[in-house]
Amino acid sequence: MISELTVGFGILARWYADPLSHEEAELLLSLCERREQDLLKHSGNSYLAPLLKLIALHWLGEATEGHYQYLISKKSKSVHAEILKPLIHGQLLMSKKIEGAMEDLDVAFHHARLLLRPEDYFVLVKRHQILRHIPLSAQPSQGETLDGLLKTGGVIGRMGESLGGRSGFRHDPDDLYG
């Protein structure tokens, strides 16, 4: 779940969206639901369990937008929890190369930037710079690890540089002359 590439980073600089197997996602969902039930019995509140549930639902192939909108509507006392909502959602979208990923990651970064350690700040700037090269789609692709995404984004970025900075160029197959 947490990428090995980001283990030494602060909570806001970690990558939470490495793919989970179906069994791992089911186990995570079960643990989240048990944790939520325990907290309800003791009038407690957890910001972590709903975020982990979002991750589990995503890797189980369930619709997550309703759960995400519910998370957004519930304000947490924790600034970190509020930042983790769009951060994790954006990472999950990016892991499957779904449109809207960078918008969520940008929102999270904007709110996190003053809370980050300098080394985490620069890691995120570089990570997002590389991830911006990845073409996103309305249709999800196979889930990919952070390492795979960074390699893909790096290659696409270098290819764009070799084309004279035309990385935003999109080929139109219907354009026979362009």
Residue pLDDT, tens place only, 114-129: 999 999 999 999 999 9
Sign of CA dihedral 158, 160, 164, 168: negative
In sequence order, which ranges of the chain are alpha helices (DSSP H)?
22-41, 48-59, 65-73, 79-95, 101-112, 118-131, 146-162
pLDDT (tens place) for every residue of the chain, 178 residues total: 666 666 678 899 999 999 999 999 999 999 988 888 877 677 667 778 889 999 999 999 999 999 999 999 988 888 999 999 999 999 999 999 999 999 999 999 999 999 999 999 999 999 999 999 999 999 999 999 999 999 999 999 888 776 665 555 555 555 555 4
Which residues lie closer than 8 Å to 153 by C-beta, 6 or more apart? 130, 131, 132, 133, 134
Dist CA 123 CA 78 (whole Å): 23
Question: Vertex 64, ends 63 and 69: CA angle to 5°?
Answer: 130
Tell the burial category of 163 from Cβ atoms under 10 Å away from its Cβ (0-12, 13-18, 19+).
Answer: exposed
